[in-house]
Amino acid sequence: MLYVELFLQGLIQGSIYALVAVGLTLVYGLLRILHIAHAGLFTLGGYIGVLVTDATGSLALALLVAAVTVGLLGMALYRVCYEPILNKPPFVALIASIGLFIAMEEIYRIVFGPYGLSYQAPPLQDSVVLWGMHLTQAELAVMGGGVVVIAVLALLAEKTRAGTAWKATVTDPQMAQSFGIDTVRVRYLNFFIGSALAACAGVMVALMNNLVEPTMGSVPSYKALAIIVLGGLGDVRGTLIAALALGVIEAFGTIYLGDLMDRDAIAFAFLIVVLMIRPQGLLGRKA
Amino acid sequence: MMSRLLKGTALAAVAALFLAGGAGAETIKIGMNAPQTGFAAADGKAAVIGAQLAVEQANAEGGVNGNQIELVVYDDQAAPKQAVPIATKLIEQDKVAVGISGSYSGATRAAAGVYQAAGVPFIAAYAVHPDVTRSGDFVFRTAVVGEVQGRAGAMLAGKMLGKKRAVVITLKNDFGVSLSAGFKEKAADYGITVVNEYEYSIKDRQFGPIVTKVKVDNPDVIYATGYFFTAGPLVSQLRAGGVDATVIGQEGYDSEKFITIAKDAAEGVIITTSLDRDSTVPETKTFIAEFEKKAGFAADMVAASGHTAAKVAIAALRKAGSTDPKAVRDAIAATNVTAAIGDISFNSLGEVRKNVQVQIVKGGAFHRHSVISDPDLLAPPEK
């Protein structure tokens, strides 16, 4: 039973990682930019979630407001920060992104204060006891929500015109454009969806910790990088699997390897081992 | 024309400043490094407001022998690499008479070396690493070192609460590790078996796996080190996960934010700290009331420590009768004052001698549980 419960805890953590990392891998797939500031949008989602829930009492509304606001902000970031430097070498965008992330953390601190925010009456806190295992409703929602959202996303990518346009733009932007795909619109949509998902993850993490801090995004910022590398850069399905796998490995590692290395070290040790055996990522095909 | 006018104005302003300086008494400067940005900004802010309050109170009483006191604060981001240039600047440029640290151990240790080398007295408000005072005879500390507070935690768990089976959850930094070391050192003496031990990093907020395993360990007490921003999520996740063993925390929990985060789960959590909310001592009562009025949020351990460090510095400056560093150092070493954190004095290493306050969360606020005053158990290190 202990193992089952640890496994579930791993899936909960993994679902959060997945929601954050999918946006990152979408951006990388499309633009070859490592979008560090993505984690800043995740934090903003948490803040909006707390503020809207406290003001209205509705978590659903909070999720919606966070997703839309942060989604639009993600689009604006692309327009203002990335578009002008797309033809520069990739490190230029990387540096811009890191700078942006640091600025965002400090802006949150100035606007929302250094202590962080907590829900006045956090919703979904009741424990559900299943076969002797205690899980909060929030944890179940994260697990369920994460799987549903990503499944829907995968479905959209496969079955809709927008999805086809996205995949075409990832594979060969110039060719896609010559076939009449509006690649600029694809990019905006990409930033909107990725940022909105990060915002949802932020709201849920805020709910599980009952705390949003300016620096909440610092761990996801680099761990999501490890995950998208594991998943095979730009690969949504691979990212999902890598995120869940990492969550589970961390859960067991925290308990059984905790004396040797901490959670973050476990994540990167896993990354190194995978890259030694499968340099193309967990699911990637050999080039 | 314009520029001449400007120059004239500037000249007049400078002249006025000199005249004012000449007419009034000198300003004595106290330097302070504290995180104002970054992850530790909340604690830094509370410490600075605490110190400012002490300075304002002293100035209202006439300052130091007729001279007003000025607190010069720089942001060290709780980073050693920031603390060193800041200490240098405070000593060389601002010519502070005393330095105080409202920062964490890393930054405080780094700054302590600079103050010691310059021969300027330095007081760490709440940094707990043992090496801080080992920098030399100009360095003092108003907080109890981690190991000593950990021993008090063991006495609380075993002797006062009668617990037998403990799980230790350690925040893996100098603060958490030294506290847990002190607890484990004395646990057996008070009849406690440590059944399991876990570690986490300061960035962790999700403790699901640890909670799951603790439930299997089935302890009757959990000694968990951390700060309010890790302990809040930890305690609420422990309770949500069905673990109802008593949680013993330390001064890192000591913030109203801990209760805001953990909500009902915080009820019954007991901590070892230095601020007694139910104190009847006028000094402490005044501090708690005036701090809340000035800061807009309730006083906590960090705020009280910042206030105490500044108060010790001011008392020493008054007693020394000059800003001669050696005289001020000797005055600090001979400190015997009632501060917001109680009656304090220093041992030969510059470590504080004081009681440990035990507080319990009841009805959404910290209240007095008991006081640990065993001088042998609480004896700070002498070297």
Show me where the domains of chain B are located: 10-144+279-350, 146-273+357-372
Gap from A226 CA to chain B (nearest CA, Å): 17
Nearest to B209 among A115, A127, A251 (CB): A251
Dihedral of CA atoms A51, A200, A126, A129 in degrees, nearest 10, equals -170
Nearest to A136 among B38, B232, B240 (CB): B240
Residue B10: pLDDT band with limits 50, 70, 90: low
Separation of first and last alpha carbons in chain A: 42
Strand runs labelled E in chain B: 27-34, 68-75, 98-101, 122-124, 139-141, 165-171, 193-200, 221-224, 246-249, 270-273, 336-339, 342-346, 352-353, 356-362, 365-372
Residues B124 and B83 sit within 8 Å (Cβ to Cβ): no
Q: List, for residues B123-153, the tens digit of each pLDDT value.
A: 999 998 889 999 999 999 999 999 999 999 9
The 8-class DSSP code of residue B274 comes to S
Separation of first and last alpha carbons in chain B: 67
- According to CATH, the superfamily of the domain at B10-144+279-350 is Response regulator (3.40.50.2300)
Dihedral of CA atoms B304, B305, B309, B310 in degrees, nearest 10, equals -40
Q: Contact A264/B236, CB-based, under 8 Å? A: no
Residues A35 and A235 sit within 8 Å (Cβ to Cβ): no
Q: List, for residues B276-334, the tens digit of each pLDDT value.
A: 999 999 999 999 999 999 999 999 999 999 999 999 999 999 999 999 999 999 999 99
Determine contact: A235 vs chain B, CB below 8 A.
no
In this structure, is residue A94 part of a structural domain? yes
Determine contact: B204 vs chain A, CB below 8 A.
yes
Overall domain count for chain A: 1
- The answer, yes or no, to whether residue B2 has pLDDT greater than 50, is no
Q: Which amino acid is at B307?
A: H
Residue A286 phi, psi dihedral angles, 5° rounding = -65, 135
Gap from B36 CA to chain A (nearest CA, Å): 9
Residue A170 CA to residue A239 CA, distance in Å, equals 16
The C-alpha angle with vertex B357 and arms to B355 and B361, in degrees rounded to 5, equals: 175
pLDDT of residue A168: 87
Q: Name the range with the highest mean pLDDT among A216-230, B210-224, B368-382.
A: B210-224
Domain that holds residue A145: 18-216
Q: Which of A31, A26, A35, A32 lies closest to A235 in space, CA to CA?
A: A26
Q: Contact A254/B200, CB-based, under 8 Å? A: yes
B173 → chain A, closest CA residue: A262
Residue B39 CA to residue B44 CA, distance in Å, equals 10
Gap from A219 CA to chain B (nearest CA, Å): 7
Residue A174 CA to residue A161 CA, distance in Å, equals 18
Give Rg (Cα) of chain A: 19
The 8-class DSSP code of residue A123 comes to S
Give Rg (Cα) of chain B: 22
A/B interface, count of CB pairs below 8 Å: 103
CATH of domain B146-273+357-372: 3.40.50.2300
User: Fold identical between B10-144+279-350 and B146-273+357-372?
Assistant: yes
Residue B20: pLDDT band with limits 50, 70, 90: very low
Residue A171 CA to residue A160 CA, distance in Å, equals 17
Residue found under tokens 């796998």: A245
The 8-class DSSP code of residue A119 comes to -
Axis crossing angle, helix A236-256 with helix A218-230, rounded to the nearest 10: 120
Residue A259: pLDDT band with limits 50, 70, 90: confident
Residues B310 and B54 sit within 8 Å (Cβ to Cβ): yes
The 8-class DSSP code of residue B64 comes to B
Dihedral of CA atoms A215, A220, A222, A227 in degrees, nearest 10, equals 180
Nearest to A263 among B201, B237, B257 (CB): B201
Residue B186 CA to residue B194 CA, distance in Å, equals 11
Residues A272 and A255 sit within 8 Å (Cβ to Cβ): no
In this structure, is residue A184 part of a structural domain? yes
Determine contact: B205 vs chain A, CB below 8 A.
yes
User: pTM for this structure?
Assistant: 0.86
**Token duo for residue B222:** 């959990």
Q: Contact A264/B198, CB-based, under 8 Å? A: no
Tell me the residue length of chain A: 287
Q: Which of B117, B147, B118, B119 lies closest to B131 in space, CA to CA?
A: B147
Residue B381 CA to residue B383 CA, distance in Å, equals 6
Q: Which residues of A touch B206 (CB under 8 A)?
A: 12-13, 16, 205, 208-209
Q: List, for residues B154-173, the tens digit of each pLDDT value.
A: 999 999 999 999 999 999 88
pLDDT of residue B21: 43
B241 → chain A, closest CA residue: A134
Q: Which of B193, B179, B312, B311 lies closest to B253 in space, CA to CA?
A: B179
Cβ neighbours around B268 below 10 Å, total: 14
Least reliable range by pLDDT among A154-158, A221-225, B276-280: A154-158
In this structure, is residue A141 part of a structural domain? yes
Query: In this predicted complex, what is the ipTM?
Result: 0.88
User: Chain A window 188-227: which residues touch B at a Cβ cutoff of 8 Å?
Assistant: 205, 208-211, 213-216, 218-219
**B112 in helix, strand or coil?**
helix
Q: Which of A185, A171, A144 lies closest to A234 in space, CA to CA?
A: A171
pLDDT of residue A114: 79
In this structure, is residue A260 part of a structural domain? no
pLDDT of residue A163: 85
Residue B76 CA to residue B62 CA, distance in Å, equals 30
Nearest to B261 among A6, A129, A210 (CB): A210
- The answer, yes or no, to whether residue B25 has pLDDT greater than 90, is no
Determine contact: A13 vs chain B, CB below 8 A.
yes
Mean pLDDT of chain A: 89
Residue A248 CA to residue B307 CA, distance in Å, equals 46
In this structure, is residue A120 part of a structural domain? yes
Dihedral of CA atoms B229, B234, B240, B246 in degrees, nearest 10, equals -120
Which stretches within A113-136 are classed as H helix?
A: none
**B70 in helix, strand or coil?**
strand
Find the farthest-apart pair of alpha carbons in chain A and give their distance in angstroms, rounded: 59
Q: Contact A106/B37, CB-based, under 8 Å? A: yes
Task: Write the DSSP string, B134-187.
Answer: GG-TTEEESS--HHHHHHHHHHIIIIIS---EEEEEEESSHHHHHHHHHHHHHH
